[in-house]
Amino acid sequence: MIKMVKSSPENPLLQSKVERSQSHTKKTTEGKCGLWKPLVFGISASLLGLLLTIWTPFHILMNERLRMRPGLPPYEWWKTPPDKVLLRVYVFNITNSEAFLNGTDKKLNVEEVGPIIFLEKVTHSDVIVNDNDTMTYSAKRSAIYLPMMNHIDLNQTLIVPNIAVLGIASYLWDWNFVTKMGFNYLLRKIESQPIVKTTIYNFLWNFTDPVIDLGHSFFPVMVPTTNLGILTIVYEHFEHTVTSYMGTNNGHSRYFLIDKFDGSEYLPHHDCKEKLVNSTEGVTYHQFLTKNETILYWRKTQCKVIELDFERELFTNGFNAYRFTLRNETFHRQDSYSDCFKGNPPLPNGLIDVSKCYFDLPISISFPHFLNADPIAKTYVNGLKPSNEKHGSFVDIEPVTGVPLESRARLQSNLILKDFSGLSETLERFSDITVPLFWLEYNQVGIPTYMSNLIFFLIKILPSLQIIVVVVLFCTGLALAIYAAYKFITRRKQKNLQHKIMRLKGHIFCN
């Protein structure tokens, strides 16, 4: 018979020593982890704070804007700009046409009629990103009538200069006597008059005359259109291919400046080699704008690049802004060898010849009401009242982002009438004057709320927020480092104390 024997229990003293050893090992491991974890987290927080100091979220976002990535707010806002630009048209109505034509009055009297208000719609399409950090796209502008904002009947009657008759007469001013006599005979035959009665709508969109119809039929190259409606001329072919700078390689200062317009660096329709490189169309401006800069502004309507200078700092639309204004000398004569706009004969200061951009019609542009022009310009007609407040031009720009907050660009179009000697007696009354036809105001009326909120976050909240985050990270890192050091010193003291106690116990036990 086999007898079962129960094994004896373990030695209680040995088991106690093992348990104490395991407990000591566990505490040692936990102590090391408790020491290293805050140290690692502290160093990580400090490094992250340092990285956010070098590469701030603000500058990362500003650099990202330069890349113009589809789908992101800067690109989408540029591609379809908000409907915030109003076009106001003011036309000049002649009030003494009969007295002037019969010789009773020596000057034309004009009165301003307007505004007639439109929305200028801008769209960008066919976008191509080029290898050299430029972007090519098609830019189109159109004018949309706003009936709810207008209080003037478009069927209202106007008495205006006949652009066709007077324009052709001015074109023939230095031709031979036979040609002028033929033109006199033609005018009598078709009964075209130098001053005509028309409606506001026709003057804007559908201005025609038999003389221009004949000219187009026989000389289509010289007379490429039969419609001289002023807004038709401006907007009928207002679609162009533009290449602009973008990308981080070109930097902030060249952001969205023009590289080429319709494939060329030079002004269109001009013989002189005046460049439009580094100008802007005004949809947006470059980032980090400074007060000592000169902005080069290009718009096909004005036919030349014009300069805007810093005037003052102001608060508008919820932001600090820089106001840039057109120089008073914008339309003054330049050096005779480089002035492509002086006209023939030369125009006085304050007017420039832009006929090359308008089918060679004798058109000049100026500030409205001949503001800032030579005194002789103010003698051409009666009824003008120039005012810098009403007729000057400016743009208010948020300088960090380069976003225009408000702008008013004002230009007047005039008909240049040269020496009409050799033409009819009626036409000779118009000799050597420049008659104002109309003036335009392009008015950006603020920015949409979503853009305002985005700019506010970018320039107001984000810089402060990133400072707070960096400070918190550095403080957290410092606090964790101090905590780890405290734990390390405390642990060393406890360990030394334990060693002393153990040595003391050993000494007592031995004795």
User: 3-state SS of 259-322?
Assistant: EEECCECECCCCCCCCECCCCECCCCCCCCCCCCCEEEEECHHHCCEEEEEEEEEEEECCEEEE
Please count the residues of the chain. Answer: 511
Q: What is the mean pLDDT of residues 289-299?
A: 92
In a domain, 485, yes or no: no
In a domain, 23, yes or no: no
What is the rounded average pLDDT for all residues in the chain? 82
> In the structure, what pLDDT confidence band is assigned to residue 491 with cuts at 50, 70 and 90?
low
In a domain, 291, yes or no: yes
Distance CA 419, CA 358 (A): 21
In a domain, 104, yes or no: yes
Distance CA 409, CA 313 (A): 19
Helical ranges in 337-461 per DSSP H: 388-391, 425-428, 449-456
Strands 108-129, 381-382: pairing is parallel
In a domain, 191, yes or no: yes
- What are the tens digits of pLDDT across the range 358-372? 878 899 999 999 999
The H or E element containing residue 158 is: strand 157-161
The residue ranking higher by pLDDT, 227 or 479, is: 227
Report CA-CA distances (Å) from 223 to 164, 186, 417.
Answer: 10, 16, 18
Report CA-CA distances (Å) from 451 to 228, 395, 401, 404, 461.
Answer: 39, 18, 11, 11, 14
Distance CA 494, CA 492 (A): 5
In a domain, 89, yes or no: yes
In a domain, 326, yes or no: yes
In a domain, 497, yes or no: no
- Judge whether residue 14 has pLDDT over 50: no
Report CA dihedral (252, 256, 257, 260) to the nearest 10 degrees: 140
CB atoms within 10 A of CB 99: 14
Structurally, the chain folds into a number of domains equal to: 1
pTM confidence score:
0.82
What SS3 state is found at 220? coil
- Surface-to-core class of residue 403, CB atoms within 10 Å of its CB (0-12 exposed, 13-18 middle, 19+ buried): buried
- What are the tens digits of pLDDT across the range 206-249? 998 888 778 767 666 566 677 889 899 888 888 889 999 988 88
pLDDT of residue 488: 61
Range of the domain at 398: 83-447
Q: What is the mean pLDDT of residues 400-413?
A: 92
Closest by CA to 277, choosing from 291, 289, 292, 263, is: 263
